[in-house]
Amino acid sequence: MVQARNDFLRKFFLVFIFVFHSQLAFSQANLYNFAFTSMQNMLSGKEQISFKKAIFLTENAFSDTPLDTTQFNKQIRLLITLCKGFHQTNPLANYSQKDKATVALWGAVFKVMTDTVTILLPNGEKAYHLPFTYDFEDYFGEQNWTKMFVIKLLATKKGNCHSLPYLYKILCEELGVSANLALAPNHIYIKHRAEKTGWYNTELTSAAFPIDAWLMASGYIHLSAIQNSVYMKALTDQESIALCLVDLAEGYKRKTNGQDTDFILKCCNTALQYFPNCVNALIVKAETLKQIFEKTQNKQTFNEVQDLYLQIHDLGYRQMPKEMYLNWLMELRTEKDKYLNKNLIEGQNKK
Amino acid sequence: MKKALLILLIFSTITQLFGQIPSFQKPQPATLGTYSNVVTFPTQKQNGFSQPNQNNVLQNMLWQQQQQIHLQNQRLINQATHHQQQGTLPQDVLDDIAEFENPKYSSIAEAYNSLNYKFPTVTKKGTNFYESAFQKFSSMLSGKEPLNLKRAVFLVENSYYENTMPYQEFDETLRNIAGLISLKMKQDKMPNNQLAKNLAIYQFMADTFKVKIPHKENQVFTHYPFKYDFEDYRGEKDYRKMFVSKLLLQHSGQCHSMPLLYLLLADELGAKAWLSYSPNHSFIKFMVNGRLQNYETTNGHFTTDAFALSSGFIKAEALANKVYLDTLSKKQLIAHCLMDLALGYEHKYGYNEFSLKCAKLALKHHPQNITALMVKANYYNALLGYVAKQSREKRLPNIQFGDVPQVYELYQKVKQAQQELDDSGFAEMPQEAYQNWLKGIQKETEKSKQTFQNIQQSLWKK
C-alpha cells in the first residue's frame, strides 16, 4: 500500500514536472504567436499601429521571465517627463518655420538621450540625468541577443544602433511627434524632415547629425540600393513594424536554435508583404530556406534560395564585414568636418 | 582625295563659323543718374502708411527684396518734392501724388484687383525665334518629329543668336570631327565597337589627338584637348558660355557644353553614351564590360559614383527619385535642352511666361528634371515679387496673404513649387563648395589613370 502510494506520488510528480515543463515551452511559443498576430493586425489595419507595443512584444517573447509592462511604461514615462521639462526650459532659437514646436521636441529627445541633463529639484539641489552611451561589446548581439533590446538599454543605459534609435522613436511617438527609422548596412538611424533643412539624419550612437555622404562612405551602399529604397529611405510606420517582425523572427531563431522554420518564414513573408524591399527579411528568409534545403535537398527550395540571393544582390545589398562597420561608425567622431551636417551645427552654435 | 577635301572643309567651316557668330560683348550695367540735392524724405509714418509689420509676409519679403527700388523711388520722389517746392510740377504728376495720399479704392480686394498677376509680355526683337524653337521642341517631345539632339542644341543656341547661326556649318563641323575620329580609329586599328568609339571620342576631347592626313605623306593633323573655362563657368554674366558653339570656337568650355559635345559626337558615330546629373553638374556615363563607367568631361578623368557622392550635397531622396547619377533617356535629354532654351530666354529677356511653359513641358517628359523644378519655383517666386513690387509702388495697404484671393493663389503656387523641389531631395550647393569638389578630382588622378588603362586593356583583349 505504501509502495503503491509512493509510486503514485512519483508518477504524479513526474506528470507534474512534465506538465509544468511543457507549459513553459508552450507559453513561449504562445508569446511568439501572440506577438506575431498582434503585429500582423497592426500591419493589416485591424489594430492601431504602436511601435512601442511591437517592441515590447518582441522583447517579451524572447525573454525567459515575463517582462513587467508597468515597469517598462514607467521608465518610458520618466524619460518623457524629462523631455517635456527640457523642451519647456530650452526654447529653440534661430528657428521660425511653422514646425518649430515639432523640431524643438526632436531636439529635446535628442538632448535627453545623448547629453547630461541637469534637473533642478524643488529643494534647490541639482540632479543629473546621464546620457545613454554606445555599448562596444557584442554590438551585433551575436553572443547575447538581448544586447539589441530597448529593455536592456533602459536597464544598463548602454545600447547599440538597434536599441538607441528604437527608444528614440518610441519617445518621439509618445510625445506626439513622428520619427522615421532608416536603414544602412547593419545599421539603423533616424531621419526627420524639418521645413528649414529638409530631410536630415540623426545618429544616436555618436550623438551627431551626419550628412548622407557619411552613410554612402561606408562603401557598402551600392547606388542601386538607394535607388531601390533599400537603404537610406525614411521608413513608414508600417515598414517599421515589418522590421520588428524580422527582429521577432531573429529572436525566435536563436531561441529554438533554428528548429522551427515555419514561424520564421511566416514572419519574413508577412514583413515582405508590407515592405517588399526589406533586405533584412530577405536575408533571414534566404538563410532559413538554405537551411531547409541542406536537410531536404529539395530542388525547388534550392531554386527559391538562388532567386532570393539574386534578388538581394540586384537590390544592391553588399555584405559589410564586422570590423569595417565599427571603423565606419567611428569615422563620424574622427572626421567631423567632413561628415557633419553644417546647416544644423551652425544653428546649434548660435544657440 | 575625298578625305583631303574633308580636312580642308573643317578648317574652312571653323573659320566661317567664326565669321557668322557675333563677337562676344560684355554686358554694360545700367547707370543711374546722380542727384545733387538731398531733401529729407518724409518717413512712412508721416505719410500715413504704417511700417511693415512682422506678420505681413508679403510686404516683409518685399522690404528686403526691393531695397534698391525703394531707394531709387526715394530719389525720384525727392526730386519731385524739390520740383513741387518750386511749383514746377506738371498737373498729372500732382494728380498721381494726390492719388497716393488719398487712395480711391473702396476695398483692399478692389485695390489688389487692379494689379497685374502676369508678367508683361515681352515684345522685344528675337522672342519669335524662341517661340518657334519651342514649337519644334514640343513636336519632338510629342513624337511628331524624331528626337534629334543636334537639332535641339542648335535650336537653343540659334535662338539666342536671333537666328543668325547657320545650321549647315554647325552640322558640318560636327560631322567632320566625327569623320576624323573614325579615321583615327581605322589608323589605330581599333575594333569597331561601342567601347572603342567611346574611347576614341574621349581621346579627341581630352588627349592630344593625332591623325595622319590620307594621301599626304608626313602630314599629321593634331587636335589638343579642350580646356575648362574657369571664368563665369555658370554663364551668369554671359549665357553664351554654356554653348557648344562657344566650346568649338574658343576651345574651352564647362560642365554643360562639354558633355553635350561628347553626346553630339557619340550620336554622329553611333556610340551609346548617356548624360547624368550631379549637383550643379553633368557628366557622361558609358558602358564598359556591362557596367556603367563615369567620365568627367571637364578634366578627362574616369570617376566613380562615390566621387560624385563625396560632394556631400546629394541626398538619398534625390538618388531614390533618380534626380542624380541616373542616366538620361533620349527624350529626357531633349527635355534637358528645352530647359537650356528657357534659361537662355531668361538671360535675355528676364522672367516671363515662356520659362514656365518650357518647365511644364520638360516636367511632363521628365518629372524629376531638377532644372525645370527650379525654373518653376523661381518663376512663381519672381511673380510674387513682381506683384509685391506693384503693391508697393501703388502704396496699397498691407495685407495678409489670405486677404486677397489672387495673391493667396499665387502664394500657394510658390509654396507648392518649393515643396516639389524639396520632395525631389534637392539641396543647394554653394558655388565655392562646387569648385572645391571639382578640384578634389585631382587627388583621384592615379585612380583615374588606372581605370583608363583597365578599360583600354579590355578593349584589346576582345
Is residue B420 less than 8 Å (CB to CB) from chain A? Answer: no
Is residue B440 less than 8 Å (CB to CB) from chain A? Answer: no
pLDDT higher than 80, residue A218: no
**Phi, psi of B129, deg, nearest 5:** -65, -35
Residues A51-73, mean pLDDT to the nearest whole number:
91
Determine the pLDDT at residue A90: 87
Contact assignment for A212 to B314 by CB distance below 8 Å: yes
DSSP-derived secondary structure letter, B397: P
Contacts of B61 in chain A (CB under 8 A): none
Residues A340-348, mean pLDDT to the nearest whole number:
64
Which positions in chain A have a beta carbon within 8 angstroms of at least one beta carbon in chain B? 182, 198-199, 211-213, 215-217, 219, 223, 226-229, 231-233, 338
Is residue B305 less than 8 Å (CB to CB) from chain A? Answer: yes
The alpha carbon torsion through B150, B154, B156, B161 (nearest 10 deg) reads 170
pLDDT higher than 60, residue A351: no
CB A158 within 8 A of CB A133: yes
Is residue B322 less than 8 Å (CB to CB) from chain A? Answer: yes
Domain that holds residue A30: 22-350
Q: Cα–Cα–Cα angle for B414, B417, B420, nearest 5°?
A: 150
Cell of A319: 555584405
pLDDT category of residue A174 using cuts at 50, 70 and 90:
very high
What type of residue sits at position B100? F
Taken as a whole, chain A contains a residue count of 351
Residues 6+ apart with CB under 8 A from A29: none
**Phi, psi of B123, deg, nearest 5:** -115, 10
- On whether residue A322 sits in a domain, the answer given is yes
- On whether residue A17 sits in a domain, the answer given is no
What type of residue sits at position A34? F
Is residue B279 less than 8 Å (CB to CB) from chain A? Answer: no
Q: What is the CA radius of gyration of chain A?
A: 23
Furthest CA-CA distance within chain A:
90
Determine the pLDDT at residue B10: 44
- On whether residue A175 sits in a domain, the answer given is yes
What type of residue sits at position B302? F
pLDDT category of residue A214 using cuts at 50, 70 and 90:
confident
pLDDT category of residue A323 using cuts at 50, 70 and 90:
confident
- 564647362: which residue's cell? B254
Determine the pLDDT at residue A341: 77
The rounded distance, in Å, linking the Cα atoms of A330 and A187 is 13
**Phi, psi of B66, deg, nearest 5:** -105, 20
Q: What is the ipTM of this complex?
A: 0.75
Contact assignment for B316 to A198 by CB distance below 8 Å: no
Cell of B418: 518649393
The residues pairing with A193 across neighbouring beta strands, listed in sequence order, are A199
Q: Identify the residue among A223, A236, A341 best suited for mutation to test binding to B, counting B beta carbons within 10 A and taking the highest.
A: A223
- If DSSP codes are grouped into helix, strand and coil, which group holds residue A8? helix
Determine the pLDDT at residue B50: 40
Q: Nearest residue of B to residue A231 by CA position?
A: B316
Mean pLDDT across chain A, nearest whole number?
86
Burial letters for B80-98: b for 16+ Cβ neighbours within 10 Å, e otherwise?
bbeeeeeeebeeeeeeeee
pLDDT in tens, A268-289: 999 999 999 999 999 999 999 9
Element (H, E) at A5: helix A2-44
Contacts of A97 in chain B (CB under 8 A): none
Determine the pLDDT at residue B31: 32
Q: Nearest residue of B to residue A197 by CA position?
A: B427
Is residue B259 less than 8 Å (CB to CB) from chain A? Answer: no
pLDDT higher than 80, residue A335: no
Q: Is B221 exposed, middle or buried (0-12, 13-18, 19+ CB in 10 A)?
A: middle
Q: Is A127 exposed, middle or buried (0-12, 13-18, 19+ CB in 10 A)?
A: exposed
Pairing of strands B209-212, A198-202: unpaired
| Residue in A213, A223, A232 closest to B310 by CB | A213
Element (H, E) at B212: strand B209-212
- Compute CA distances A142 → A64, A145, A280, whole Å: 18, 6, 16
Cell of B380: 512663381
Burial letters for A153-187: b for 16+ Cβ neighbours within 10 Å, e otherwise?
bbeeebbbbbbbbbbbbbbbbbbebebbbbbbbbb
Helical spans, DSSP H, in A186-321: 212-217, 223-227, 237-255, 261-274, 279-296, 299-314
The rounded distance, in Å, linking the Cα atoms of B421 and B415 is 10
Establish, for the pair of chains A and B, how many residue pairs have beta carbons separated by less than 8 Å.
Answer: 48
The rounded distance, in Å, linking the Cα atoms of A161 and A173 is 19
Determine the pLDDT at residue B247: 94
In terms of Cα–Cα distance, which of B365, B360, B341, B339 is closest to B417? Answer: B360
Cell of A110: 535628442
Determine the pLDDT at residue B97: 66
Contacts of A226 in chain B (CB under 8 A): 316, 319-320
CB A293 within 8 A of CB A255: no
Which sign does the torsion angle of CA B193, B196, B200, B202 carry?
positive
Contact assignment for A219 to B306 by CB distance below 8 Å: yes
Pairing of strands B220-223, B227-228: unpaired
Determine the pLDDT at residue B46: 36
CB B247 within 8 A of CB B340: no
CB A242 within 8 A of CB A277: no
The rounded distance, in Å, linking the Cα atoms of A171 and A78 is 10
Quickly count: other Cβ atoms within 10 Å of residue B433's Cβ: 16
Residues 6+ apart with CB under 8 A from A256: none
Contacts of B311 in chain A (CB under 8 A): 213
Distance of CA B377 to the CA centre of its chain: 15
Determine the pLDDT at residue A14: 52
Count of the separate structural domains present in chain A:
1
Residues 6+ apart with CB under 8 A from B323: B277, B368, B370, B424, B425, B426
CB B345 within 8 A of CB B124: no
In terms of Cα–Cα distance, which of A177, A176, A183 is closest to A162? Answer: A183
The rounded distance, in Å, linking the Cα atoms of A239 and B170 is 54
Residues A189-204, mean pLDDT to the nearest whole number:
91
A183–chain B nearest CA distance, Å: 11
Determine the pLDDT at residue A9: 54
pLDDT category of residue A340 using cuts at 50, 70 and 90:
confident
Contacts of A96 in chain B (CB under 8 A): none
pLDDT higher than 50, residue A65: yes
Q: Identify the residue among B317, B368, B429 best suited for mutation to test binding to A, counting A beta carbons within 10 A and taking the highest.
A: B317
- Give the residue with greater pLDDT, A234 vs B68: A234
Element (H, E) at B293: strand B291-296
Residue B28, by phi and psi: left (phi above 0), alpha (psi -120 to 50) or beta?
beta
**Phi, psi of B254, deg, nearest 5:** -140, -165
Contact assignment for B326 to A233 by CB distance below 8 Å: no
High-pLDDT (> 70) share of chain A, %: 89
Contact assignment for A213 to B326 by CB distance below 8 Å: no
pLDDT higher than 80, residue A348: no
- Compute CA distances A131 → A137, A141, A159, A336, whole Å: 18, 21, 11, 20
Residues A163-181, mean pLDDT to the nearest whole number:
96
- Compute CA distances B278 → A146, A162, B16, B284, whole Å: 43, 32, 36, 11
Determine the pLDDT at residue B342: 95
pLDDT higher than 80, residue A171: yes
Determine the pLDDT at residue B32: 35
Residue A133, by phi and psi: left (phi above 0), alpha (psi -120 to 50) or beta?
beta
- Compute CA distances B146 → B86, B276, B375, whole Å: 69, 22, 26
The rounded distance, in Å, linking the Cα atoms of B403 and B395 is 16
pLDDT in tens, A103-154: 999 999 999 999 999 888 888 888 899 999 998 888 888 889 999 999 999 9
Counting as low any pLDDT under 70, the low residues of chain B are 1-66, 68, 80, 83-90, 93-105, 461-462
pLDDT in tens, A93-110: 888 888 999 999 999 999
Residue B367, by phi and psi: left (phi above 0), alpha (psi -120 to 50) or beta?
alpha
A331–chain B nearest CA distance, Å: 15
In terms of Cα–Cα distance, which of B317, B338, B427, B280 is closest to A341? Answer: B427
pTM of full prediction above 0.80: no
The rounded distance, in Å, linking the Cα atoms of A293 and A161 is 33
Contact assignment for A213 to B425 by CB distance below 8 Å: no
- On whether residue A202 sits in a domain, the answer given is yes
Q: Count Cα neighbours of A128 within 13 Å in the Cβ-side half-sphere.
A: 6
Cell of B352: 516671363
Determine the pLDDT at residue B36: 32
Q: Nearest residue of B to residue A338 by CA position?
A: B312
Is residue B314 less than 8 Å (CB to CB) from chain A? Answer: yes
Residues A238-254, mean pLDDT to the nearest whole number:
94
Contacts of A185 in chain B (CB under 8 A): none
Determine the pLDDT at residue B43: 35
CB B431 within 8 A of CB B234: yes
pLDDT category of residue A219 using cuts at 50, 70 and 90:
low
pLDDT higher than 80, residue A302: yes
The rounded distance, in Å, linking the Cα atoms of A215 and A185 is 9
The alpha carbon torsion through A250, A254, A257, A260 (nearest 10 deg) reads -40
Contact assignment for B314 to A213 by CB distance below 8 Å: yes
In terms of Cα–Cα distance, which of B349, B347, B346 is closest to B358? Answer: B346
pLDDT category of residue A40 using cuts at 50, 70 and 90:
very high
Contact assignment for A217 to B326 by CB distance below 8 Å: no
Is residue B425 less than 8 Å (CB to CB) from chain A? Answer: yes
pLDDT higher than 60, residue A297: yes
